[in-house]
Structure 1
Amino acid sequence: MKKEKISIPMTTLDFYKYEIDGIIYYEFDATECSPPEPMVNTLNALRMIKNENERLVGYFFHEPVPLYAKIADSFVHEAKELENGDYKITFKKT
């Protein structure tokens, strides 16, 4: 899998794009960030997700529960706690 670094307006983190089985993923790592940077980057990146064939994948140092309420009308998420205690959250448009 080849990851391509991309630029997303109004974000401060590195974002990468890749494709698996026809699904396009946009990925970022916010594990080293302090609030509100993870939420701001996530909200701005979610604007890119236009259909069911796109996902946003974020890595967080904790589960971003306050974020879920802000996006509940437009996105669903899948949270997975990793072995190191970080969280991998995959967002999908509803």
Structure 2
Amino acid sequence: MSELNKQPIEIEGATVPFFTYTMGETQYFEFDTSKCGPPEPMVNAMAGLKMIDGPNKKVVMINHQKPMGLLDKIGENYDIET
């Protein structure tokens, strides 16, 4: 796969950098909290999820472990892939 053209984006409430890129017709919002402790992964995930206003937008979260508290909180409302 070729290098993605990731662009920095300001996300209200975020405490780590976010980037956006497009693959096909889908826009992605990506952030990395793999070096952060609680509550930063949850805080940033919730900030990123506010950007989802249609089926062609997705959040990519890079984390050091599966965020079970987050998944329990949002699992019924979103399709999640790990």
Scaled by the length of structure 2, the TM-score of the pair is: 0.91
Q: Distance in 2 between matches of 1:45 and 1:54?
A: 10
Are 2:77 and 1:74 equivalent residues in the alignment? Answer: yes
How far apart are the structure 2 equivalents of 1:6 and 1:45? 11
- Aligned-pair identity in percent equals 35
| AA matched with 1:51 | G
- Cα distance in 2 for residues equivalent to 1:5 and 1:59: 16
Q: Which amino acid aligns with 1:75?
A: Y
When the two chains are superposed, the root-mean-square deviation of aligned CA atoms in Å is 0.8
* TM superposition shift of 1:59: 0.4
**Within-5 A mapping of 1:12-91:** 12-79=15-82
Structure ranking higher in strand proportion = 1
Between the two proteins, the alignment pairs up a number of residues equal to: 79
Runs of 4+ residues deviating >4 angstroms: none
SS in 2 for 1:33: coil
**Which structure 2 segments of 5+ residues have no match?**
none
Structure 1 segments unaligned to the other structure (5+ residues): 80-94
Under a length normalisation based on structure 1, what TM-score does the superposition of the two structures give? 0.80
1:7 corresponds to 2:7: no
